Structure 1
Amino acid sequence: MNKNPLKAQHWLIFAIVAVLFFAWGAWLMRSSEVQPVANLQQWRDALLQPLAEDGLTLRDVQALAPGELWLAPRLDGARLFYRASFDGEEGDWLLEAEVALDQDQRDSLMAAQGLRPGDTQRVVGELLAVQLADFAIRALSLKPLDSLAAERLAASLGPPRLTLELAEGQAWVYPQWGLTVHLQGDEIALLHAVPKRVFAPRP
């Protein structure tokens, strides 16, 4: 017995079902895509790339986030840090940038503040921040205060060129930006950046 040919309305139903099926599949793929870190492009352009090229100054960091200068007396000499907190689209972040000082500048700053090695670190005046605005930054750290999946950073910067196993967690290394990303489990613990020459092999 011959079967009745499919009617036009049957073909229409099949077409509608097929369209809905493919639309649902496309929606699933979009919903499963890893979203990059929203602020990372801005930070890469404003902070990481200039620092990688030895061109980041205290003024540049101040323009991104208002903060304070902290003097930390240590046995090997004073270290001067600019610290700020700011809101990113993923939550709050802490920023710490070390100002590059030579030994004489460290000693002079310690004497001016009346500090000795081992004393408690303290905030120094805003006038000093103005005077040192054009000084270079030698290292920079960004710490998320809210949980942030590591795969989102990989979606922003691509896969790391080097992966290191640490005593606690893992490190992803991006030498082109002088950047090391410290991970705890599957989450970002800290972004630490230095000039990329630090990663260059010594002759």
Structure 2
Amino acid sequence: MKIVIVNYGAGNIQSIKFAIKRLGYEAVLSNDVEEIRNADKVIFPGVGEASSAMKKLRESELDMLIPELKQPVLGICLGMQLMCNSSEEGNTKGLGIFDLDVVRFPDSVKVPQIGWNQIEGLKTNLFADIPESAHIYLVHSYYAPLSNETIATAEYALPYSAALRKDNFYGTQFHPEKSSEIGNEILKNFLTEI
């Protein structure tokens, strides 16, 4: 199985690569269009600020490629947010895969939300054998609202999408690679159950 982690200069890609290696798989880091297109599974990470990350995607023409991919794709954190229509962060136009607009948490709570939270309402094989109220690790100031594409929810001032799915595209707001055994199981499910 060929696993490619999209390397566009805006992700904590080494920690994801190590997490996959711990599961017994090798992943390739790449921004090459053909290599990504020919992967069996694609992981699209993201850390940082939305508008600068989108600029990097456009520079390597990955903004055109990612929405066209037919194999399973997993967006993580900012990667998931960039898969939405837009983000309030930097007034950024996204990839338009998920029909959602990412917004900032209300001023009534401290941002970013950093640390452990629980996920509920788990749907799809991404969460096979994952218990309700499992703890996952998050770092974010912006969130995707609930929608019919939501496959897991979390709460911080209000309920929001902790994970999304549309067709072959999946996204997690949380970092599975930093979420201990639960996160390892979710990554394993993406590699073996989807």
Q: TM-score range by the shorter chain?
A: under 0.3
Structure number with the bigger relative contact order (C-alpha 8 A, sep ≥ 6) is 1
TM-score, normalised by the number of residues in structure 1: 0.25
TM-score, normalised by the number of residues in structure 2: 0.26
Higher Cα radius of gyration: 1
